[in-house]
Chain A
Amino acid sequence: NAGVTQTPKFQVLKTGQSMTLQCAQDMNHNSMYWYRQDPGMGLRLIYYSASEGTTDKGEVPNGYNVSRLNKREFSLRLESAAPSQTSVYFCASSARRSAYNEQFFGPGTRLTVL
């Protein structure tokens, strides 16, 4: 099993450009998440999807949209990139069984917006 995979690994955008970050998991997990990690700020939740067909905002959703394409895939879209969106983006998934919410992370996408 590959676990959680993300594409691309690196991306450079100009201000105003758009792009979609892709995430897929092969662990048959119900829940998926997008986080960003900035120096000195820690990991912050952007959006999450508790189950196929649902999405909800996290702590820092402005400037982003998401799509839960199916149970395996959860994409993050930047419609008009801004330098403040320069960050490392991590996708995670969770089985969401009983009281447990152990999340497993993908390798990340390093995004630079010029």
Chain B
Amino acid sequence: QKEVEQNSGPLSVPEGAIASLNCTYSDRGSQSFFWYRQYSGKSPELIMSIYSNGDKEDGRFTAQLNKASQYVSLLIRDSQPSDSATYLCAVGIAGGGADGLTFGKGTHLIIQP
């Protein structure tokens, strides 16, 4: 049984600070890792994907992957109130597999103005 674990929160962060979201996964065969943002009542929106160990930066977002520790994280710099949402970690299998993703239950992030 593949599992993806996230702290459900809520995680409260002051505006302008760095928000740090964490995720662990159980399947060592996992090779693709994603962060989705979901606003209340809306669908998940892909914000970051990462496939190799290390950091990947895109604007204010940085994804970090450590396959040895089975750990993925998302950093949001200069947090804005509009970043308040639930962040879903998702994990997939390698090789261009079309298998569906395994999702964590999400971390609810609140950015305090």
Closest to B101 in A: A103
A-binding residues in B (CB < 8 A)? 31-32, 34, 36, 42-46, 49, 51, 88, 90, 92, 94-106
B contact residues around A42 at 8 Å (CB): 88, 103-106
Interface size class of A (residues with CB under 8 A): 20 to 34
Closest to A47 in B: B100
A104 within 8 A of B: yes
Q: Are A101 and B44 in contact (CB under 8 A)?
A: no
A contact residues around B96 at 8 Å (CB): 96-101
B-binding residues in A (CB < 8 A)? 30-31, 33, 35, 40-45, 48-51, 58-59, 90, 94, 96-108
A contact residues around B45 at 8 Å (CB): 105
Q: Are A104 and B46 in contact (CB under 8 A)?
A: yes
Q: List 22 A-B contacts (CB under 8 A).
A: A33-B100, A35-B100, A35-B103, A42-B104, A42-B106, A43-B88, A45-B102, A48-B100, A50-B98, A51-B98, A58-B100, A59-B100, A94-B98, A96-B96, A96-B98, A100-B51, A101-B96, A101-B97, A101-B99, A102-B49, A103-B90, A108-B42
